[in-house]
Structure 1
Amino acid sequence: MRNLTVLIPVLNEAKAIGKVLDEVLNVGVPRENIIVVDGGSSDGTVEIARSRNVEVIPQEGKGKALAIKTGLKHVSTPYVLVMDGDYTYPAKHIIDLYKKIMNEGHDLVIGSRRFHSPVQTRIYRIGNLFLTKLFNLLFGTGLTDILSGMYIAKTEKLREIMFEMPHFSVESEIVAHVASTTGRIAEIPINYRRRLGEKKLSVKHGIGIARDMIRLTWRYNPAFFIFILGSLLLIPGLLLGGWVAYHYFFVGIKYYVKGLVAIILTAAGFTSLLLAVMALYTKRIEMRMQKRMDEIEQLIEEYLNRKS
């Protein structure tokens, strides 16, 4: 696995980082291809990581997104695998992810977690499912776990990302970028274990991730974002229309102006909804065309190489 760098962002993971690094080394990742990015740990995490003779670099700024951005500056291999340092992701899946991206030419391969009680609480699993469904709706994907903390990608593709989404929204930003540019994303099922150490993710972080997904929609598909906002006019239009209809049929009072306003709002909202669906499918067509163009470009390159 000389073409692969394993990038592990950490913050106070002294209970887990030693076991994580031992597992990564045992699956055959070269020691010099492991980078631990420390976000300012004060519990001995750095010392434990350095005792395994792997590279440990201080993070620039705060948050997981900037940890990955910092680590990418030190990556010299064509592929990079990101995994959390809390022991939740078994390192044995590194081999599976690496084979998948090497053999099939994807830009991003996500380790889709398989949750089992009592590893994760019901509210955590429901929240993850909701956020994944929301992402699929906004970006026209069909993924099962967009917030997984274990994934492998082409290094050049990750370097295209601006890493503007803070903290735990970085995974959704990475997936949104790849989905909106090439669409070459795949998943493989992986196991998920109970973390070692204090839990850092909470309900408020889930709300922030949902908010950031909407912000990402504005960046990567602004037409869909605008039209989906316009479709909200359906709500006051239908409510006002129902109120006018009730008074007309049951009270005998006719509200002509309010009825006209209700019709205009409903028509505008319904039209915006149709345009939002059209914008979503237009984006899908664009992604398919880009994928086809990349395949043609690759075939031409292979043909020219054979000729030469």
Structure 2
Amino acid sequence: MTADVRIAVLIPCHNEALTVAKVVADFRAALPQAAIYVFDNASTDETAALARAAGARVIAVPAKGKGHVVRSMFRDVDADVLLMVDGDDTYPADHAERVLAPVLAGEADMVVGTRLEAHADSAFRRFHGFGNRLVRTVISSLFQTRIADVLSGYRAFNRRFVRSMPVLSQGFEIETEMTVFALAQGMVLREVPVPYGSRPEGSHSKLNTFRDGFRVLRTILFLYKDHRPLLFFGLIAIACTLAGLAFGSVVISEFALTGAVTHPSTAVLASALVLTALLSLATGLILDTVNRRSQELMRLLTDQILPSTADRSRARDDGPADKG
């Protein structure tokens, strides 16, 4: 680890009194140079007091939802590198340096500790593993890339990512939003396999399988519409065109054989579908142009973000170019 790099460990918690002190102690031992923050998300137990007693700085986030917590993290913590880890003691602290390494080396904007390669048999509740695989398959196909784990809560970020990402999600779909944002903005995403453990006896997941699963899929759909509007509306246009041609062929065949149209409603439906296809295509073209301009502006703003201490340190080590 570079000595002058400011590292912050961020631990979101909601009623994690059973595990938070151990998580703080483990990451303090693994990263003694890092500042430890616990973000208490409206806990009703002793989470905040136990975290404070373990030596962490506690920041209260009254609005319930992990998205609100991440927004507070990115807004309130000033550091060169941020390491986010859940407070349920399922992620290993001894892998922290491996997760941080690509960011510290300037090789990635975000690193995800992937869990699906090695995990305890009871680590995932019923349907959670299936849901994660479904989400990663959808994102991988939409963005033409390979993602191993979209929903992991073990992540490292550099200053560029933290200062440029607008956090819009409110709940557990925030991990999906971060992944989609990184892919859509052309940021470098790396994945590091980490073992994933089970919650200790008496600790319970706050994730609702169907409610939060629906919200994650909805987030994917909306974010893809925002970041890839031409393909999104283009697919709608293709579907409407094919349907319109199918219904229209019935009307045309009937007219060719009988010289009359006896199903005017089918003709109206075919015309409406084709018009919808044209409107959808035009919408996609307009939004794609607007999106490109907004991405250009985002890149310009992102480039104005001051480099991290690690980047400045590497620049000093490299020294001036040899002119001899």
TM-score between both structures, scaled by the size of structure 1: 0.78
Tell me how far apart the structure 1 counterparts of residues 106 and 13 of structure 2 sit (CA, whole Å).
Answer: 30
Shift of 1:25: 1.5
Is 1:227 paired with 2:234? yes
Note the alpha carbon deviations across 1:105-151, whole angstroms, 9 max, x for none.
21111111124423213411111111111222333332111111111
Match 2:74 to one of 48, 72, 75:
72
* Equivalent residue, structure 2, for 1:43: 45
Distance 1:143 1:260, change over 3 A: same
1:13 aligns with 2:20: no
Whether 1:178 aligns to 2:182 is yes
Distance 1:173 1:45 in 2: 27
Pairwise mapping of residues 38-117 of structure 1 onto structure 2 (< 5 A)? 38-59=40-61, 61-103=63-105, 105-114=107-116, 115-117=119-121
> What SS class does the counterpart of residue 191 from structure 1 fall into?
coil
For 2:146 and 2:65, how far apart are their aligned partners in 1? 28
Match of 2:29 in 1: 26
Deviation at 1:67, TM superposition (A): 0.9
Which structure carries more helix by proportion? 1
Q: 1:235 to 1:134 in 2, by over 3 A?
A: farther
Task: Please tell me whether the aligned partners of residues 36 and 57 of structure 1 are also in contact (alpha carbons under 8 angstroms).
Answer: yes
CA distance in 2, matches of 1:113, 1:246: 57
Q: Secondary structure at the match of 2:172?
A: helix
In 1, Cα distance between the equivalents of 2:242 and 2:214? Answer: 23
| Structure 1 residues 148 and 255: CA distance shift in structure 2, 3 A | farther
Deviation at 1:96, TM superposition (A): 0.6
Q: In 2, distance between residues paired with 1:120 and 1:50?
A: 29
| Other structure's SS at 2:321 match | helix
Structure 1 SS opposite 2:173: helix
For structure 1, the residue ranges without an aligned partner over 5 or more in a row are: none
Matched to 1:137, the amino acid is S
Aligned counterparts of 1:238 and 1:86: Cα–Cα separation in 2: 55
CA distance in 2, matches of 1:94, 1:13: 20
2:81·2:104 contact (CA, 8 Å) conserved in 1? Answer: no
Deviations 1:37-63 (A, max 9, x none): 111211100111011111111115331
Q: Is the 8 A contact 1:60 1:70 kept in 2?
A: no
Q: Are the counterparts in 2 of residues 78 and 156 from structure 1 also a CA contact under 8 Å?
A: no
Q: Match of 2:90, as an amino acid?
A: T
Q: Which residue of 1 aligns with 2:306?
A: none
Question: 2:212 matched to 1:205?
Answer: yes
| Counterpart residue identity of residue 199, structure 1 | S
RMSD of the alignment, in Å?
3.8
User: Measured at CA, do residues 69 and 307 of structure 1 come closer, stay the same or move farther in structure 2, by a change above 3 Å?
Assistant: farther
Query: With structure 2 as the length reference, what TM-score do the two structures score?
Result: 0.74
Query: How far is 1:222 from its partner?
Result: 2.0
Q: Percent identity of the aligned residues?
A: 25
Q: CA–CA distance in 1 between the matches of 2:250 and 2:164?
A: 51
- Give distance in 2, aligned partners of 1:66 and 1:266: 42
Deviation, 1:259, is 7.3
For 1:106 and 1:216, the matched residues in 2 are separated by 22
Change (3 A) 1:127 1:47: same
- Structure 1 residue 268: Cα displacement: 8.2
Shift of 1:76: 2.6
Instruction: Specify every segment of 5 or more residues in structure 2 that has no aligned partner in the other structure, as ranges.
Output: 304-310
Distance 1:74 1:265, change over 3 A: closer
Counterpart CA distance in 2 for 1:88 and 1:242 is: 58
Task: Tell me the CA shift for residue 163 of structure 1.
Answer: 0.9
TM-superposed CA distance for 1:220, in Å, is 1.9
SS of the equivalent of 2:113 reads strand
Letter in 2 for 1:201: L
